[in-house]
């Protein structure tokens, strides 16, 4: 049987792509992949040219506009990476046509599917949001099963994720068959 493809944040696979040159290899992710899935590694920050090591980035909310605008900026320099990330997202998402699910790095400014710290410029308060790549991924593929490595540690959540991946692939196969 052909393995289903899962997008995975590269650092969770043991790739040294984090801002500090380290990784966040996760044995639960590795074990899951070995069973029935093939990894499609993605690191938005490296792939858009930020390099390793690099200045850490954070998400900042601009509230002085008609709506809240979230920007990705260097934590010390204030360099704005938002436009580059938005451009990367549109190109990368077009290439991810054959994936059946995605495992993202929790709390990452690019990959976190939720609970990513959001710094409010004017008030100094913090709230949370999703990372810029994760948000674009979930908007572009609204039915795609997505999970972070921390949630994957829960056995029930992991089993549910696997079931959703399999159902997503079945639905995609049915859609493809009906088009012929």
> How does pLDDT run across 78-92, given as a tens digit for each residue?
999 999 999 999 999
Q: So what's the pLDDT on residue 164? A: 97
Contact 41/13 with Cβ under 8 angstroms?
yes
Give the rounded percent of residues in the chain with a pLDDT score beyond 90.
Answer: 77
Residue 121 tokens read as 């410029």
Cα radius of gyration (the chain): 17
> How many Å apart are CA 15 and CA 58, to the nearest integer?
21
> How does pLDDT run across 97-111, given as a tens digit for each residue?
889 999 999 999 999
| Sequence ranges of the domains in the chain | 4-178
Q: So what's the pLDDT on residue 127? A: 87
Across-strand partners of 41?
8
pLDDT band at 126 (very low <50, low <70, confident <90, very high): confident
* CB count in 10 Å sphere of residue 73: 19
Q: So what's the pLDDT on residue 66? A: 58
pLDDT band at 122 (very low <50, low <70, confident <90, very high): low
Whether the per-residue pLDDT at 56 is higher than 60: the answer is yes
User: Can you tell me the mean pLDDT for 164-170?
Assistant: 93
Residues 6+ apart with CB under 8 A from 50: 57, 81
- Which range (88-92, 162-166, 169-173) has the least confidence? 169-173
First to last CA, the chain: 23
> How does pLDDT run across 34-54, given as a tens digit for each residue?
878 999 999 999 999 999 999
> How many Å apart are CA 81 and CA 106, to the nearest integer?
20
Q: So what's the pLDDT on residue 50? A: 95
Q: Is the dihedral of CA 135, 109, 74, 93 positive or negative?
A: negative
pLDDT band at 28 (very low <50, low <70, confident <90, very high): very high
Q: So what's the pLDDT on residue 180? A: 43
């Amino acid at each position: 049987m052909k393995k289903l493809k899962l997008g995975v944040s590269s650092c969770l696979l043991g790739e040294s792509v984090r801002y500090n040159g380290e990784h966040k290899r996760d044995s639960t992710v590795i074990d899951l992949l070995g069973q029935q899935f093939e990894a499609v590694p993605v690191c938005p920050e490296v792939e858009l040219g930020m390099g390793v090591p690099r200045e850490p980035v954070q998400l900042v909310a601009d509230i002085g506009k008609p709506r809240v605008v979230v920007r990705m900026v260097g934590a010390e320099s204030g360099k704005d990476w938002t436009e580059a990330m938005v451009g990367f997202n549109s190109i990368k998402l077009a290439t991810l046509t054959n994936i059946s699910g995605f495992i993202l790095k929790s709390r990452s400014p690019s990959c976190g599917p939720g609970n990513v710290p959001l710094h409010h410029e004017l008030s100094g308060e913090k709230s949370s949001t999703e990372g810029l790549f994760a948000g674009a991924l979930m908007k572009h593929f609204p039915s795609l099963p997505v999970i972070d490595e921390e949630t994957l540690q829960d056995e029930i959540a992991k089993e549910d994720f696997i079931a959703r991946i399999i159902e997503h692939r079945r639905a995609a196969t049915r859609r493809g068959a009906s088009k012929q």
